[in-house]
C-alpha cells in the first residue's frame, strides 16, 4: 500500500487549488495573482524572537479595528484570508453539513470544503454575475455556511447590496453568511462592516495582501460579532501570527501606512481605467468587464490562444477559460504603466 492510499479518501480525490505560484511560468511580467506591482518598504522593529508571539497581537487587532471602524472584539487575525475560510468551515460544519457558494468565484471555498470532508452546493451567478436568490433559497437545506465574494474574483463586480441584505434575512438564525471583502479597499463604500451589529450570523473576510501590497506577509482578518469570533478562537492555532508578521502589519495599519495604501489604490484605479480603454480598442478583445478591484476580466475571440501566446513571451496572466461561464476569458492584474503597455502591445501583434 502506498502512502497516498493511507490518506483520507476525500484527500486522495482532491484537486488542490491552482494558485498562481503552483501554476508556475517563467516571465518578467507577473499579472496573474492580483498583487501590487512593487513592495512597500518596512523594516523590522521587533527583535524578540525567543518567546512565542501573542495569540492575537493586540497592536494588530487594535490597528485593524480602528481602520475597519469596528471594535477590537469584532476582529480575529489569521494567516491570510484563506485561513479564515477554513476556520469558519471547521468551526461550524458537521460532517453531514454543506457549504454553498456561487461560481464563477474564488476557488478556495470549494478546496477548503473538500479538504475538510464537507459537502458543497453551488448556485451559479446570473448572466450579469449577481446572486440567484431564488435558487439559493431553494438550496439552503443542510447548508451551514454561504460564501459570497464582493467584489467578486475573477469577475471584478460588486454583488448588489440589496441582494446581500436579503440573503442575510433569509439565512437568519440558520446559516453563517461569509462576505469575502479581499478587494474592498478599491470600493470602501461597499463594505458590510457597518452591518455587523444587525446580523449576528455575518462574517467578513479581509486581507493585507491586495491594496496593502503585503501578499508575502500572509496576514488576514475575520470581522464578526464577538460570539462568532469566540467560536473561531476555539479552533485557530495557538500562535497564528509570527512576530515579524505582526510587526510589519502594525506598521502597515499606522496612519502613515493607511495613507500609503490609499495612494496605491488611487494609482491602481487610474491605471485600471487606462488599461480597460486600451483593451477595448484591441480587435481580438470582444469584451472587457467593469471592475471594482485591482484586476480586469476580458474575453477574447480565442482566449486560450491569446493566453498561451503571452505566456510564451513571459507575460503571465490568469486563464479563466475553464471557469463556469467564462469561456475565452482572461484575468489580468493591474500592473505598472509599463507592464500594462507590454500586454497591450503583445495582444495587438497577435
Q: Where are the domains of the chain?
A: 3-38+257-348, 58-253
The architecture that CATH gives domain 3-38+257-348 is: Alpha-Beta Complex (3.90)
For range 23-29, the mean pLDDT: 74
Q: What is the pLDDT of residues 55-110, one digit of tens each?
A: 999 999 999 999 999 999 999 999 999 999 999 999 999 999 999 999 999 999 99
For range 241-266, the mean pLDDT: 98
Q: What is the pLDDT of residues 163-199, one digit of tens each?
A: 999 999 999 999 999 999 999 999 999 999 999 999 9
Q: What is the pLDDT of residues 271-297, one digit of tens each?
A: 999 999 999 999 999 999 999 999 999
Q: For the domain bounded by 58-253, which CATH number is listed?
A: 3.40.640.10
pTM: 0.94
Confidence band (pLDDT; 50, 70, 90) for 18?
low
Cell numbers for 145? 455556511
pLDDT at residue 239, rounded to an integer: 95
Confidence band (pLDDT; 50, 70, 90) for 8?
confident
pLDDT at residue 126, rounded to an integer: 98
pLDDT at residue 66, rounded to an integer: 98
Long-range Cβ pairs for the range 306-311 (8 Å, 24+): 306/330, 306/347, 306/350, 309/346, 309/350, 310/343, 310/346, 310/347, 311/25, 311/27
- Is the pLDDT assigned to residue 20 strictly greater than 90? no
Torsion of CA 236, 237, 239, 241, to 10 degrees: -70
Amino acid at each position: 500500500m502506498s502512502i497516498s492510499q493511507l490518506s483520507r479518501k476525500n484527500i486522495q480525490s482532491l484537486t488542490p487549488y491552482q494558485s498562481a505560484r503552483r501554476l508556475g511560468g517563467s516571465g518578467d511580467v507577473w499579472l496573474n495573482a492580483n498583487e501590487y506591482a512593487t513592495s512597500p518598504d518596512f523594516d523590522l522593529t521587533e527583535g524578540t524572537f525567543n518567546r512565542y508571539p501573542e495569540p492575537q497581537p493586540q497592536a494588530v487587532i487594535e490597528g485593524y479595528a480602528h481602520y475597519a471602524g469596528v471594535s477590537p472584539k469584532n476582529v480575529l487575525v489569521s494567516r491570510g484570508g484563506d485561513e479564515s475560510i477554513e476556520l469558519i468551515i471547521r468551526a461550524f460544519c458537521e460532517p453531514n453539513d454543506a457549504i454553498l457558494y456561487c461560481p464563477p468565484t474564488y476557488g478556495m471555498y470549494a478546496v477548503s470544503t473538500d479538504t475538510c470532508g464537507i459537502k458543497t452546493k453551488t448556485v451559479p451567478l446570473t448572466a450579469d454575475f449577481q446572486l440567484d436568490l431564488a435558487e439559493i433559497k431553494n438550496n439552503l437545506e443542510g447548508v451551514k455556511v454561504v460564501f459570497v465574494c464582493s467584489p467578486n474574483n475573477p469577475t471584478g463586480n460588486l454583488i448588489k447590496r440589496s441582494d446581500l441584505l436579503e440573503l442575510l434575512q433569509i439565512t437568519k438564525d440558520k446559516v453563517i453568511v461569509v462576505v469575502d471583502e479581499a478587494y474592498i479597499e478599491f470600493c470602501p463604500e461597499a463594505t458590510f462592516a457597518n452591518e455587523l451589529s444587525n446580523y449576528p450570523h455575518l462574517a467578513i473576510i479581509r486581507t493585507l495582501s491586495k491594496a496593502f501590497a503585503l501578499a508575502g506577509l500572509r496576514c488576514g482578518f475575520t470581522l464578526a460579532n464577538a460570539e462568532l469570533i469566540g467560536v473561531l478562537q476555539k479552533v485557530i492555532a495557538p500562535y497564528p501570527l509570527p512576530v515579524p508578521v505582526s510587526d510589519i502589519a502594525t506598521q502597515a495599519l499606522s496612519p502613515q501606512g493607511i495613507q500609503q495604501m490609499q495612494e496605491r489604490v488611487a494609482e491602481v484605479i487610474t491605471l485600471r481605467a487606462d488599461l480597460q480603454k486600451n483593451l477595448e480598442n484591441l480587435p481580438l478583445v470582444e469584451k472587457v468587464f467593469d471592475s471594482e478591484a485591482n484586476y480586469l476580466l476580458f474575453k477574447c475571440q480565442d482566449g486560450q490562444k491569446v493566453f498561451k501566446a503571452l505566456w510564451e513571451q513571459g507575460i503571465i496572466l490568469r486563464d479563466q477559460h475553464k471557469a463556469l461561464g467564462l469561456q475565452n476569458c482572461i484575468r489580468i492584474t493591474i500592473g505598472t504603466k509599463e507592464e500594462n503597455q507590454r500586454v497591450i502591445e503583445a495582444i495587438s501583434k497577435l
